[in-house]
Structure 1
């Protein structure tokens, strides 16, 4: 049973990989036909962009994200990441404000009990439980601040790394693809990876 599941899984992965390879070859042929209209260099039926390498692009993207969160993602033209950045930071701020409000409520009730009043909103809860609730609310406030800072830092790191990877030359000359063959003697599946490099 496990062998069948593994065969099916490998077949699906291999199909997706070969489909992607066929799509890229079709795109390469189309790009060769359009190479006369585009500015670029044609090497072995492949169009290489004539875009110069910009070593300051990663630092610019990181700086923009540090100044205004999400601006580095806009600089990299990854607009879909901007709502994720703001959603993460807004979630941390929301929980900070909620825990701050809870902390103030618990603290005010505890102060009223120390003053001798018993008419607070937590009448069924002991004074020791109010102290524990204050500690938990304060701890959760601290975690919320840490979460906002982490999302902010990840925003900067993401913009920097994405700017680096946009300038990375991805070529079809180096590829790894799954290999699936059936042994004709014992009809067992042979799995493997084929490594291809064009020089």
Structure 2
């Protein structure tokens, strides 16, 4: 029994040498991202600027190439809304003239019946309302995009964390294989 106890005690002491020694372990972690680089108010500023003037949040984020896309989308929506609104009022005004009894038999819409005028009004009104909803949606998307872009600008992306396609040779049949390589360096 004493021999067994002595062997277990000896193995315990040899395996765990730090029982009697005090070691000081210092772990140094170097972060490549400075504290000054992160501005927690940046996303809210970008969203606020885009809400005030569409495209201003993209300029704040220095994503200048997105500004023409924002103005093209919102401007196109406003243009489609104006065109549908103009046509809606044309057909509505012609229908009102016919109801008042002042219609011109040689007028621009003389070939249309009253039912066709009502149908055209409803169609252009529906398209006008839909284009307004889409334009408001694009305006909100502009604000959200500026906010998300400002958040992603603060995301740490460097060569220590990469995901890239890789072509490697299979050792069994010497064929080329395609795969993804995820590298993370400490």
TM-score band by shorter chain is: 0.7 to 0.9
State the Cα deviation string for residues 168-194 of structure 1 (Å, max 9, x = none): 111211222222234476564422222
Alignment of 1:10-49 (within 5 A): none
* Corresponding residue of 1:8: none
Q: Which stretches in structure 1 are left out of the alignment for 5+ residues? A: 1-42
Q: Which stretches in structure 2 are left out of the alignment for 5+ residues? A: 1-29
* SS, match of residue 179 in structure 1: strand
* SS, match of residue 182 in structure 2: strand
Alignment of 1:112-131 (within 5 A): 112-116=97-101, 117=103, 118-131=105-118
RMSD between aligned residues: 2.2
Whether 1:54 and 2:42 are equivalent positions in the alignment is: no
* Corresponding residue of 1:19: none
Whether 1:77 and 2:74 are equivalent positions in the alignment is: no
Offset at 1:47? 6.6
* SS, match of residue 91 in structure 2: helix
Q: In structure 2, how many angstroms separate the alpha carbons of the residues matched to 1:92 and 1:182?
A: 52
Runs of 4+ in 1 over 4 A off after TM superposition: 46-50, 182-188
**TM-score under structure 1 length normalisation:** 0.69
**TM-score under structure 2 length normalisation:** 0.73
Change (3 A) 1:80 1:190: closer
Q: Which has the higher Rg, Structure 1 or Structure 2?
A: 2
Whether 1:67 and 2:47 are equivalent positions in the alignment is: no
State the Cα deviation string for residues 38-66 of structure 1 (Å, max 9, x = none): xxxxx6xx975563421111111111111
Equivalent residue pairs, number: 155
State the Cα deviation string for residues 42-92 of structure 1 (Å, max 9, x = none): x6xx97556342111111111111112111111111122222212211111
